[in-house]
Amino acid sequence: MRKILLFLAASLVSTTVMSQSENFDQTAVGALPAGWISGVTGFGSPQWAVTVDPTAPSKPNVLKQSGSGTYPWAVKKDVSLGDGFVETKFKAISGKEDQAGGIVWRFQNGRTYYVARANANEDNVSLYYTTLGIRSTIKYVNAPVPLNVWHTLRAEFQGKRIRILLNGKLYIEAEDEHIKEAGAVGVWTKADSVTAFDDFSYGPPVK
């Protein structure tokens, strides 16, 4: 019995940290991908759904946010990742107030998580932590983020060390310990940003 329990525990650990990817092509148009939940930090009515996009890096489908809210998010709820990476391709399509695409990790709930975002409206990349529903800036730097162009945003995190890359270039290196617990991973937008996401992936630290 003890050997069986140890085997199951080891299997669970390997499942938790194994690299995974999702291109949303197996999800019915109009639905959320299986295992994902969506919501908003603050107020609003975000609208997350898979849709067809002929420009998608992995055709035909993308995950798109087309509503509005303070900080809309969509996460894979059953993931528990403490150290590792999260990466996605995103395209900021439109938005009068903002034009942002982001990724979240160590997501505890809709009020506590880390987020990195790239903003086509401001041409910058930013790193934040959100606790008790309040977003606080760790660092931001200027970076080109053309509208209606696909970009790759990546966060690497281990302990208190965090690295943020856009299109393969390192823009932010920082240390922060506000959220230490493992948590879910996902994607994020701001305000009225209409943003599409594709080729979402996550996994353990890259050796």
> Is 33:4 a contact under the CB 8 Å cutoff?
no
pLDDT for position 1: 47
The predicted structure's pLDDT at residue 6: 36
* 84, 193 contact by CB (below 8 A): no
The pLDDT, as a whole number, for residue 206 is 84
Bridge partner list, 164: 155, 172
Burial per residue of 106-138, b for 16 or more beta-carbon CB atoms within 10 angstroms, e otherwise? bbeebebbbbbbbbbbbebbbbbbbeeeebeeb
In the prediction, which pLDDT does 136 show?
A: 98
CB–CB of 138/155 below 8 Å? Answer: no
Q: What is the distance between the alpha carbons of residues 99 and 180, in angstroms, rounded to a whole number?
A: 29
Before 205, cis peptide (omega within 30)?
no
Q: What is the pLDDT of residue 15?
A: 40
Distance CA(144)–CA(142), nearest Å, equals 7
Specify the pTM.
0.91
Q: Which residues of the chain have pLDDT under 70?
A: 1-17
pLDDT, position 200: 98
Using alpha carbons only, give the angle 112, 152, 82 rounded to the nearest 5 degrees. 35
Query: What pLDDT does residue 9 have?
Result: 41
Rounded to a whole number, what is the distance in angstroms from the first to the last CA of the chain? Answer: 34
